[in-house]
Structure 1
């Protein structure tokens, strides 16, 4: 066992904690850009809906690791803000695929553009390979959490 492993793990914990704290602040700011009444935790839902285009509530709940009841309440809130819509599935009347409305997509894309510009500003001095490695390592870490 590497004698530096505990210290290295403490360093990882420290940096992840700092990143998560900053991420919560950034999510709050970006959520307000999308809609002044948007719950900051809902930005991640919008991100998944933008990525998936259309997804059933049960599939989204499984992907996010949250209960259907909790997710349904969040989706109801997003529907009330005009950002998300439920559609009928002609093949399964019990299913209601979710997707962003045109307004939800427009607002999300504008806020995301602002967020990506901030990432670009932060990473512009990094070597291209370092940014690619960073993205790959974050993906690997997130995949390990699933």
Structure 2
């Protein structure tokens, strides 16, 4: 079993590299569809904001594993484009909660819809339990990595 581990790790790395390459290309494509001046790295940020609704900058920075300064600059850019807003945090007046604007949500959802369709088509012949297992394993991997 131990003799197989290095080859399996190489296989995981190969597949992960292919997935990441595809993901980067997708991020560039979706970012430009959301807004022509949007940086490609902002796609993941928009995804987290779409998923979480309202979230504090410090919490978002921790989830994404980036510094608050870097994230603050990215958020400022998204605010300037009218995609993100800051609202007072009802639990802490010193802090703000970030969320997508209605326009940001509309643009993000419209740009993302075709990609979700591609994923749906790629997995449509898979049994539901396999799709659930894929999501579970990817979540587990991401949690262990970060």
TM-score in terms of structure 1 length: 0.93
Q: Output the CA distance in 1 between the equivalents of 2:11 and 2:90.
A: 52
Moved >4 Å (runs of 4+): none
Report the CA distance shift for 1:134/1:89 in structure 2 as closer, same or farther (over 3 A).
closer
Q: Output the CA distance in 2 between the equivalents of 1:90 and 1:135.
A: 33
Q: Higher strand fraction: Structure 1 or Structure 2?
A: 2
Q: Output the CA distance in 2 between the equivalents of 1:127 and 1:57.
A: 38
TM-score in terms of structure 2 length: 0.93
Quote the offset at 1:77 in angstroms.
0.4
Quote the offset at 1:92 in angstroms.
2.8
Q: Output the CA distance in 2 between the equivalents of 1:27 and 1:135.
A: 19
Structure 2, gaps ≥5 residues long: none
The 5 Å alignment of 1:92-103 reads 92-103=92-103
Q: Output the CA distance in 1 between the equivalents of 2:91 and 2:6.
A: 53
Q: Which residue of 2 aligns with 1:9?
A: 9
Please tell me the root mean square deviation across aligned C-alpha atoms, in Å. Answer: 1.3
2:45 pairs with 1:34: no
Q: Which residue of 1 aligns with 2:122?
A: 122
Q: Output the CA distance in 1 between the equivalents of 2:123 and 2:87.
A: 39
